[in-house]
Amino acid sequence: MEVSIFALEKLMAENQELISNCTKQLQEINNGKIKVSALKQASIENTLEEASLAYETYKHMYDEIPKAEKDKYKELVRVQEALAKQTYYKVQKIRLKRNKNLTRDQRLEAMMIIDELPENIHFEDKELLDIANIVLKNNIRSVTELENELITIKNEFNSKINSLPDGKDLKHFAFLDTYIPIVVLHFSVLIQNINELISEHNENSEKKLHFPGLPKYEDWWIEELFINHQAYFALFKWKDIIKNLCLNEQQKIIWNKIFNNWLMVKKILNSKDENAYDYNYIFDQLLEKYAHLEEELDVSNLESMEEIIKNITLKEDFSKNRSLHNIQTTYSTWKKEKQNQ
């Protein structure tokens, strides 16, 4: 019975379309919009008559079918369409992966959008790619993700500050409340970016790369900065190790700025001694969580590293100019010009 219902609905639809086209043509002929020969007009009128008769015949046959049978057929069609739609969206990612006309970024963005959609919401391939292109063009995902991550870090930072015992006067460090979350974010983004590039490389190369994580730093390097050349040397070596973990020049430039900002915050807090311990500890906790940066606390490791640095610096000739540099900075040049005006 399903086959008969399907065939009758198709025949009715075809003849209905034919009736509509013929009726429209005859109206345009009568209104003078189009001109045809008498023979052509007669042919259109004949087609209309035959289509109307056929439609009435098929409709009569369709109406004779019991309603229960037609409802059963409609439910079957609904289920088949739902299954077809489900299959379409189920293999959507596979189609995107195999689509050679898409760039890697388009493909990844479209797949990410699929994952973010609620279960009952779907986009056709074209709509999905249109959205993906807008996201990529305006860099929406990167900006939104960074903003959301910064908000998360800020909220956690404020929560930790507010949870400190009453009586802790942190007014002296209020100027760092905005700065610290940003430094943590920059650290986090750098590590994420290094790992992403490593993942991309490993997908396309037999020679696999591995990110070992950031080496631990030691607080005495900061404590003795400006008074001990070994502290300078240790910080320089630590900075250089992380620089060598960067995979391109852009990451190295960014790391240089992050290092300067991190060292500035640590030195400011270190100079406040016990008054800044809680504040400093919160900064360290956030860096450990979001960038996996830790301080070395094991005494034996601290002593071992101190001895290594001492031995290395004993062999160093610090009178040598290690790299070419300008004795006049851009600021000193500008300042001199300003004073001569």
Q: Give the per-residue pLDDT at 277.
A: 85
User: 217: which strand partners?
Assistant: 295
Q: Give the per-residue pLDDT at 241.
A: 92
pLDDT in tens, 94-128: 776 777 777 777 777 677 666 666 666 666 667 66
> What secondary structure letter does DSSP report for 101?
T
Q: Give the per-residue pLDDT at 287.
A: 95
If one compares 19 and 65, the residue with the highest pLDDT of the two is: 19
pLDDT in tens, 283-297: 999 999 999 999 988
The pLDDT of residue 81 is above 80: no
Tokens representing residue 138 in the block: 């305006």
The pLDDT of residue 8 is above 80: no
pLDDT in tens, 226-259: 888 888 888 988 999 999 999 888 888 889 889 9
Q: Which of 62-66, 152-156, 290-294 has the lowest mean pLDDT?
A: 62-66
pLDDT band at 175 (very low <50, low <70, confident <90, very high): confident
The pLDDT of residue 303 is above 60: yes
The 8 Å CB, 24+ separation contacts for 309-314 are 309/230, 309/233, 309/234, 309/237, 310/230, 312/233, 313/229, 313/230, 313/233
Between CA 81 and CA 90 the distance in angstroms is: 14
The mean of the pLDDT values for the chain is 79
Contacts with 19 (C-beta within 8 Å, 6 or more apart), sequence order:
48, 51, 52, 55
pLDDT band at 73 (very low <50, low <70, confident <90, very high): low
pLDDT band at 176 (very low <50, low <70, confident <90, very high): confident
Q: Give the per-residue pLDDT at 174.
A: 75
The pLDDT of residue 3 is above 80: no
pLDDT in tens, 177-221: 888 998 898 899 889 888 888 888 888 888 888 888 899 998 888
Between CA 219 and CA 284 the distance in angstroms is: 11
pLDDT band at 325 (very low <50, low <70, confident <90, very high): low
Q: Which of 59-68, 146-155, 224-233, 245-254 has the lowest mean pLDDT?
A: 59-68
CB atoms within 10 A of CB 147: 11
Tokens representing residue 29 in the block: 């002929």
